[in-house]
Structure 1
């Protein structure tokens, strides 16, 4: 990729993250291109569809969360690692408003470009959960799929204006119910 094309690509991703954080996954592509200082044709040259843009943006974020689970597991006791990761995963879902639906569809569709990333994210959470369960600090009647669903539910709550002021409290409640440890808000 040429240097200017790479610069445009990186700029588009950075601006897309900002705009999607503000407006959700249905944000205006025209707005993203304008704020990045490029034409709409340039955006479409790099990302032919909205899904292509979201996939590129989310791939990196999901990979970062997966890597974060490994770091937390190595550096913290199991209950702390799980609590921090749960809180960060929920924050990710909340930052990218509307991503819960996108991730659920990706999990159900093996042909989705995000399918493997979402499966790997769910596995990363399951590893942290099993470790905490083995240490006797997390409920044993849930599994990685339940944890993933709880993250999605907590993120969805944060997306709803009527619940926005309660979101942190409810994430904390879920963390205590699952792990027995409050989040570090």
Structure 2
């Protein structure tokens, strides 16, 4: 199979048969590549499909003089995985902010710190946590692990994870009270 020729056929004439052959060949390989990098199977399959849909849409951008089709496709998959991880990290950071906020009604504009000031304050408060508390908060909220997964990952009892989280959240609330 000449993957370069298949991508060029997709680019020049939107050749569906070429795309089907390319998809059949690369979808399982991209999924395997992503899973070897630590991506869960369901997400790896979703990203593999998204990768190949990107190949369909952007086939005209493929330049065989710069790289082979397999390298180009692997790079697309890698970039999609990185983009997904960044979106997840931002989402988890906003969850930490949500846990710290009370629902007392809408904030008044003169009471709100700018986003960058708020982020800096949260970073300083996080640095005030013990190393153990910070690691538990990082795994549970920033990386999205369940409490049980955190306990398994750190080889500590589940109750210890919950205690560290409770103490860390109390510390953060004390130091960020005025942000509420």
The alignment's TM-score, normalised by the length of structure 2, stands at 0.33
The alignment's TM-score, normalised by the length of structure 1, stands at 0.32
For the pair shown, the structure with the greater C-alpha radius of gyration is: 2
